[in-house]
Amino acid sequence: MKNTVQPLVSVIIPLYNRREYIEECIDSIFAQTCQDFEILCIDDGSTDDGPEFCKEKYGGDVRFHLVQQSNQGTWAARNHGLNLAQGTYVTFLDHDDFLGTNAFERMTTLAEETQADVVASMGRYLLRDGDNRLVPLLNNPAHASHAYVLSDTMEGRLAYYEQPVSEAVWNKFFRRSFLENSHIRFQPVRYRDDCIFVLSCLFHAKTFVCTPFLYYVYRISYGSALRAHKTLDDVKKVIETMLQVLHGVDWDLSDIPYFRAHPEAMRIVKEKQLDELLETMRHWGFYPTPEEYVDVMRETIFQTFTSLELSAEESAFLLTYLFDRFNANRAIVERVKGKGD
């Protein structure tokens, strides 16, 4: 797959079993006011007819490329797309979401004007299943009137990092040469791979621009989350994923002198990653409520730590973090019980 002319935008779509949404997703790309793009639809081993539908409807357009791989996870599909991308800019689109029609034009124009490595939208639209209303959500209303260049100090970047959806990969445009020169790719973790990727971009980019322009429509599907019975194996999976996240943060940020000189900043980044990871797992039904968390910690945490091969440093960091959260959740449970008495 080799284009003779470099496209302006490469759109990478990891596809896995969402046939009911993929048409609206891809149609929103072909409806763009800027038509200088390529679509890299990476099928991660779908078992439905989504890939066949895409071949039939879009296969006749030379800008559309369906690439199939065995099921490896979203991180692998995105990396596969990055390795094939030829555009000046790269953006990511989840298979159940879609874009406003002037997304490419507005975001690439801003990137060219500012020579940004990354241009980030400060929010997104929400679309709930069964509801046709688009609800705009802007992270920072104080900057709602204009785009701005993020401070190039580490303190300024950390302040941005604290904002909602600042870590999302799907509401940003990345200069591909920046990603290549910085050797930035997605880490092989089950959760938070996109957030570690954006974190690396945030602290490696020379120019990082934020804009109040909203173009990404994020779909909330109520049928996708299933709560499961919590077992020792579940807790072990959570902790193992935490370790993967910590390793990913170390891998991406350890070469930055600021973080070597300021270990407290690295701790802040790691703790926020773990906080967001636990919230993600809770949302997907893989993490207990505050009361369940207290019970799980009491019953299984020490068994889990003795069954995993953790270094002394890893054990100390995770135990401190988990028991801080344990105490916070226990306080919530006690307050709720107190109100009910």
245 within a domain of the structure (yes/no):
yes
Identify the band that residue 29 occupies on the pLDDT scale cut at 50, 70 and 90.
Answer: very high
pLDDT at 226: 40
pLDDT at 54: 96
Q: What is the percent of the chain with per-residue pLDDT over 70, rounded to a whole number?
A: 78
Boundary-marking domain end, from 222, 250, 280: 222
Are residues 212 and 75 part of one domain?
yes
The secondary structure element, H or E, covering residue 94 is none
**Helix runs in the chain, H state only:** 19-30, 50-58, 74-84, 103-114, 154-161, 176-181, 193-204, 232-253, 257-261, 263-283, 290-307, 312-340
CB 39 within 8 A of CB 118: no
Q: Is the pLDDT of residue 229 over 60?
A: no
pLDDT at 230: 54
Average pLDDT over residues 35-56: 96
The whole-model pTM stands at: 0.79
Q: Is the pLDDT of residue 82 over 60?
A: yes
Are residues 176 and 323 part of one domain?
no
Q: Are strands 135-138 and 123-128 parallel, antiparallel or unpaired?
A: antiparallel
Are residues 252 and 218 part of one domain?
no
Give the pLDDT confidence of 235-286 residue by residue, as tens digits: 667 777 777 777 777 777 777 777 777 787 888 888 877 787 777 666 666 6
Identify the band that residue 72 occupies on the pLDDT scale cut at 50, 70 and 90.
Answer: very high
| Between 317 and 216, residue with greater pLDDT | 216
Boundary-marking domain end, from 202, 222, 242: 222
| Between 100 and 315, residue with greater pLDDT | 100
pLDDT at 228: 46
Containing domain of residue 260, as a range? 226-340
Average pLDDT over residues 329-338: 63
**Phi, psi angles (nearest 5°) of residue 252:** -85, -25
Identify the band that residue 224 occupies on the pLDDT scale cut at 50, 70 and 90.
Answer: very low
Total count of domains within the chain: 2
Are residues 275 and 184 part of one domain?
no
48 within a domain of the structure (yes/no):
yes
Are residues 35 and 177 part of one domain?
yes
CATH of the domain at 153: 3.90.550.10
| Between 190 and 47, residue with greater pLDDT | 47
Are residues 158 and 191 part of one domain?
yes
156 within a domain of the structure (yes/no):
yes
87 within a domain of the structure (yes/no):
yes
**Tokens (6 digits) for 46:** 């779908």
Are residues 165 and 28 part of one domain?
yes
Q: Is the pLDDT of residue 144 over 70?
A: no
pLDDT at 50: 94
| Between 210 and 325, residue with greater pLDDT | 210
Boundary-marking domain end, from 171, 203, 222: 222
Mean pLDDT of the chain: 83
Check residue 66 and report its DSSP letter.
E
Among the listed residues 298, 81, 283, 233, the one whose alpha carbon sits nearest the alpha carbon of residue 169: 81
Alpha-carbon span 337 to 341, nearest angstrom: 6
Give the pLDDT confidence of 152-202 residue by residue, as tens digits: 888 888 888 777 667 889 999 999 999 999 999 998 877 778 888 998 899
Alpha-carbon span 186 to 267, nearest angstrom: 21
Are residues 256 and 163 part of one domain?
no
Average pLDDT over residues 207-225: 81
CB 219 within 8 A of CB 97: yes
Are residues 56 and 204 part of one domain?
yes
